[in-house]
């Protein structure tokens, strides 16, 4: 884009770094799909609560791992690789008792019927920006920016900005045991954030609410709250500092 070879890029917001290259910005964030995680189980398992003791779960997300182990330390969690087709085949063939993916991605690929349960945020708080799509372009491209303005969903944009501000303050990337989910309730943004240890033994969770126009400062304030409770020590251990 900076070389003028492309005019825009479309991203899943959960994969977008908090710092973008100079000259580029997120011009629009479209209306959010379901932000929840999808629990996809093998035969005979009807919900997360149905999982037998010592069940084998497939996921590559540190965020999911810390929350699952906090609730169910007995679970055996294994790295899950491959595209969505491959991952679904692995659970169908009995390699795992269940796998966990992002609901939005599963739905967009036409596999919604394979979802056993959409996990409540109380069980699995989503990744920053999960379910939202962002469109990036050059800051100074007035024509493209004017077109993209029509695609921006204000509520989603505010909520994702709050979540990304939290992630930036915690200096986290997309593969870290950090979660956040913001929503607009009664004219206020309510954001919940979480940092967890990889073994699931420590989970720091906090919530803040405030005016929508203060979305980013709200996310930053929530991150500071988490840091005061020991989030930095957990993250330093994850990063090997």
Place of tokens 């209306």: 31
Residue 173: the pLDDT is 64
Please report whether residue 1 resides in a domain.
no
Cβ(195)–Cβ(204) under 8 Å?
yes
Same domain for 111 and 161, yes or no, is: no
Same domain for 108 and 208, yes or no, is: no
Looking at the chain, the whole-number percentage of residues with pLDDT higher than 90 is: 92
- pLDDT tens track for 48-89: 999 999 999 999 899 999 999 999 999 999 999 889 999 999
The predicted model gives 156-185 an average pLDDT of: 92
Residue 171: the pLDDT is 86
The predicted model gives 117-132 an average pLDDT of: 97
Same domain for 140 and 227, yes or no, is: yes
The predicted model gives 78-102 an average pLDDT of: 94
Last residue of a domain, one of 118, 145, 175: 118
Residue 222: the pLDDT is 98
Place of tokens 């957990």: 234
With a cut of 70, say whether residue 174 has pLDDT above it: no
Residue 101: the pLDDT is 96
With a cut of 70, say whether residue 18 has pLDDT above it: yes
Q: What is the pTM of this model?
A: 0.93
Distance CA 109, CA 77 (A): 25
Concatenating the DSSP letter of every residue in 117-170 gives: EE--TTTSPPPTTTT-EEEEEETT-HHHHHHHGGG--HHHHHHHHHHHHHHHHT
- pLDDT tens track for 177-225: 999 999 999 999 999 999 999 999 999 999 999 999 999 999 999 999 9
Give the contacts of 29 (CB within 8 A, at least 6 positions apart).
Answer: 13, 132, 133, 134, 135, 152, 153, 156, 157, 160
Residue 176: the pLDDT is 83
Same domain for 142 and 102, yes or no, is: no
Catalytic residue of the set 7, 15, 37, 113: 15
Same domain for 101 and 136, yes or no, is: no
* Catalytic residue list contains 15: yes
Same domain for 144 and 224, yes or no, is: yes
The domain that holds 141 is classified in CATH as 3.30.160.40
Domain that holds residue 59: 37-118
Residue 19: the pLDDT is 92
The domain that holds 72 is classified in CATH as 3.40.190.10
CA atoms within 13 A on the CB side of 31: 1
Start-to-end Cα distance in the chain? 35
- pLDDT tens track for 20-37: 999 999 999 999 999 999
215: nearest Cα among 152, 178, 165: 165
What total number of domains does the chain contain?
A: 2
């Amino acid at each position: 884009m900076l070389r003028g070879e492309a005019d825009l890029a479309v991203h899943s917001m959960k994969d977008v770094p908090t710092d973008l290259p100079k000259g580029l910005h997120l011009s629009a964030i479209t209306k959010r799909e379901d932000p929840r995680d999808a629990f996809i189980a093998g035969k005979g398992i009807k919900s997360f609560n149905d999982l037998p003791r010592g069940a084998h779960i497939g996921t590559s997300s540190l965020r999911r791992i810390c929350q699952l182990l906090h609730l169910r330390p007995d679970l055996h969690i294994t790295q899950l690789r491959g595209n969505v087709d491959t991952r679904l085949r692995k659970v169908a063939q009995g390699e795992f008792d269940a796998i966990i993916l992002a609901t939005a991605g599963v739905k967009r690929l036409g596999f919604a019927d394979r979802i056993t349960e959409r996990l409540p945020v109380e069980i699995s708080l989503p990744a920053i920006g999960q379910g939202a799509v962002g469109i990036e372009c050059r800051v100074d491209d007035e024509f493209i920016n004017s077109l993209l303005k029509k695609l921006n969903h204000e509520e989603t944009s505010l909520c994702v900005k709050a979540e990304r501000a939290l992630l930036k303050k915690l200096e986290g990337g997309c593969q870290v045991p950090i979660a956040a989910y913001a929503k607009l309730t009664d004219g206020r943004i309510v954001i919940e954030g979480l940092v967890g240890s990889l073994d699931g033994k420590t989970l720091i969770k906090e919530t803040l609410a405030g005016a929508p126009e203060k979305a980013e400062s709200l996310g930053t304030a929530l991150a500071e709250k988490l840091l005061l409770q020991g989030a930095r020590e957990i993250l330093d251990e994850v990063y090997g500092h």
